[in-house]
């Protein structure tokens, strides 16, 4: 992936985190970290936990059982995401990249998308 493409994803992530149109907001649901932690405690297997951070970030700390596909590889690795019929909780460090990932996934036909603000706020179980 070119540097320009990576920069484009970063800029889109920042814009989507702070300025979303009403149409964009309909493509996924924002959930709080508290809601996500409750879902993890009660029904974690009902969701695919998709981490879109870098390998280095994932290696330091991630939600147990989560699937890593960095945002800059998501479109190329879309076949690894999983079934479009599943529910996904998508997260990154602070919420920008996960918003962009939800937009990409929605455009590829995924409909049950939940954006979690990020690992920087997660107090639930982790592993490294």
Kindly report, residue by residue over 35-58, the tens digit of the pLDDT.
999 999 999 999 999 999 999 999
DSSP element (H, E) containing 113 = strand 113-115
Does position 8 have pLDDT exceeding 70, yes or no?
no
Task: For the chain, report the end-to-end CA distance as a whole number of angstroms.
Answer: 27
pTM for this model (two decimals): 0.82
What would the two tokens of residue 65 be? 């059982």
Kindly report, residue by residue over 70-83, the tens digit of the pLDDT.
999 999 999 999 99
Q: How confident is the model at residue 117 (pLDDT cuts 50, 70, 90)?
A: confident
What would the two tokens of residue 111 be? 């409909």
Q: What is the DSSP string of 5-56?
A: HHHHHHHHHHHHHH---HHHHTTSEE--HHHHHHHHHHHGGGEEEEE-S-HH
């Amino acid at each position: 992936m070119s540097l320009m493409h990576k920069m484009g994803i970063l800029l889109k992530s920042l814009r989507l985190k702070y300025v979303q149109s009403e149409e964009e907001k309909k493509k996924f649901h924002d959930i709080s970290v508290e809601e996500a932690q409750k879902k993890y405690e009660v029904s974690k297997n009902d969701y695919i936990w998709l981490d879109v951070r870098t390998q280095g970030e994932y290696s330091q700390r991630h939600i147990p059982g989560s699937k890593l596909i960095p945002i800059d590889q998501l479109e190329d690795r879309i076949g690894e995401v999983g079934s479009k019929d599943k529910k996904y909780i998508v997260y990154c460090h602070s919420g920008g990249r996960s918003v962009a990932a939800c937009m990409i996934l929605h455009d590829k036909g995924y409909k049950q998308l939940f954006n979690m603000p990020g690992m920087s706020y997660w107090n639930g179980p982790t592993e490294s």
